[in-house]
Structure 1
Amino acid sequence: MTQGVSAGRRDQIFEVFTRHVAARGYDHANLSDIAGELGTSKGTIVHHFGVKAQLMRELEETYMRRQISALQAIWVQLTTPAERVASMIYASTLLHVVDRDATVATQREVLQLAQDPEMQDIRRLRRHCQSMVTDELKRGVATGAFRPVDVELGTLQIFGSLQWMWTWFDPDGPRTWDQVGAAFVDVMLGGLLADRFSLPQLVDREGRVVKAVREVFSAG
């Protein structure tokens, strides 16, 4: 019973910390404020996590592992480079709905603790996620599905655009996540595809790509 209560308190601390980072940024996420909101002590937070930086590390790692796991599950259903790259764009947009606070927190603090040696594993996870897209761009170029672009720069362009979505995309606003995703796919894949014949299927919000993304996140 005690272990269950302790685990529950730890989860609560983690959830409130994530929300505070999303709303205020890491530097202004104060452990005393978090403790006050939860009606506990700052010492309790330190007992569970140690320093504040450890909370950020866990937030980053948990989020990145979820994103990679989701992409892997989606890509089981989708086989072409175009479909896989499109699905990553849709998934990144949907995460603003299903995991809003963690998405905003990790995107706004992408450079936070960049020099921290304890963040090496998280940086490795970020590179792995990007390399998944780079590999699909390479495969698309090699098969002639994509134009012969610089795949490294192409990857940076895609992730760079998605990285700033937290600054303007409101899940409760006039555009739904799949509308935003489709608009990004239209521009990004429209520029990559050697033949745009498949583009209407990729931007179809009821098509197989969006369906695969929805299924994985509803299952998760």
Structure 2
Amino acid sequence: MARSEIKAAAGEAIEPADRMLQILTHSARLFATKGFDGTSMRDIAEACGISKSLLYHHFTDKDEIYARIALGSTQRLCEFVQDRLPEGASPPDRVRAFMTATGDYFQRYRSNWIASTAAFWSDPEQRRRKERMMWRDRYEGLIRQLIQDAIDAGDFRPVDVPLTGRLVLSSLNWMHRWYKPEKGMTPAQIADAYFDLIFNGLKAR
């Protein structure tokens, strides 16, 4: 339960920052399950247990909420993955850590992932779009650098680094279209299996 929800349950006043977090959290869940068009400001207000006027006090419209979720999710993903790269590990292990950390992030923040994926290219506000692209490029640049490090160390054969990076990210980014939490492996385990398939191949040893 989020800090804001705990305060609300206890009858305590919710601080503006907590209220913003509450709104963004509930909005992400609604956008992920009902889609942008299927979610109204009334739906968001009811999910948060607040009035529409209070909701409009914090956000101009639904588009602003959607854009904030997309930007925040992209930034947090990059920081989350970078923080989980093991220092001193071999280059291939750092590539594996990048992939499994991405799977772990997806599992923890699935609603934000799904909402932000759908919203990535739709924000009409240029400044927010440029900032989101900056974080996306930083995340993609990270996996490319890790792959290049593994090549330089002689662990991977020389390959087209941008192409390989796109293969890695494509395998991870589309997980939300088919993944079912109640079936089989966790997202981190799936990412680990992808690592083995991509970098060790299908050919029998």
Task: State the TM-score, normalizing by the size of structure 1.
Answer: 0.76
SS at match of 2:181: coil
Q: Using the alignment, how far apart are the partners of 1:17 and 1:102 within structure 2?
A: 9
- Say which of 86, 90, 102 aligns to 1:92: 102
2:187 corresponding residue in structure 1: 177
1:67 corresponding residue in structure 2: 77
The answer to which structure has the higher helix fraction is: 1
2:4 corresponding residue in structure 1: none
- Which amino acid is the alignment partner of residue 185 of structure 1? F
Instruction: Judge conservation of contact 1:25–1:109 (CA < 8 Å) in 2.
Output: no
1:34 corresponding residue in structure 2: 44
Q: Using the alignment, how far apart are the partners of 2:166 and 2:179 within structure 1?
A: 20
Residue 30 (structure 2) pairs with residue 20 (structure 1): yes
- Which amino acid is the alignment partner of residue 71 of structure 1? V
Provide Cα deviations, 1:188-215, integer angstroms capped at 9, x if missing partner: 2224xxxxx9xxxxxxxxxxxxxxxxxx
| Deviation of the 1:77 alpha carbon | 3.0
SS at match of 2:115: helix
Closer, same or farther: CA 8–116 of 1 in aligned 2, 3 Å = closer
Task: State the TM-score, normalizing by the size of structure 2.
Answer: 0.81
SS at match of 1:129: helix
Give the number of equivalent residue pairs: 191
RMSD across aligned C-alpha pairs, in angstroms?
2.4
Instruction: Judge conservation of contact 1:81–1:136 (CA < 8 Å) in 2.
Output: yes
Instruction: Judge conservation of contact 2:100–2:192 (CA < 8 Å) in 1.
Output: yes
Q: Using the alignment, how far apart are the partners of 2:88 and 2:59 within structure 1?
A: 39
| Deviation of the 1:15 alpha carbon | 1.1
Provide Cα deviations, 1:8-62, integer angstroms capped at 9, x if missing partner: 3322211111101111223333212111333433232221122322222321232
Residue 61 (structure 2) pairs with residue 45 (structure 1): no
* Greater relative contact order (Cα < 8 A, sep 6+): 1
Q: Using the alignment, how far apart are the partners of 1:160 and 1:144 within structure 2?
A: 25
Q: Percent identity?
A: 24
| Deviation of the 1:3 alpha carbon | 7.5
Closer, same or farther: CA 142–7 of 1 in aligned 2, 3 Å = closer
Q: Using the alignment, how far apart are the partners of 1:39 and 1:154 within structure 2?
A: 46
| Deviation of the 1:125 alpha carbon | 0.3
Residue 87 (structure 2) pairs with residue 77 (structure 1): yes
Q: Using the alignment, how far apart are the partners of 2:108 and 2:63 within structure 1?
A: 25
Q: Using the alignment, how far apart are the partners of 1:64 and 1:152 within structure 2?
A: 20
Closer, same or farther: CA 105–148 of 1 in aligned 2, 3 Å = same
Unaligned runs of 5+ in 2: 1-11
Closer, same or farther: CA 39–178 of 1 in aligned 2, 3 Å = closer
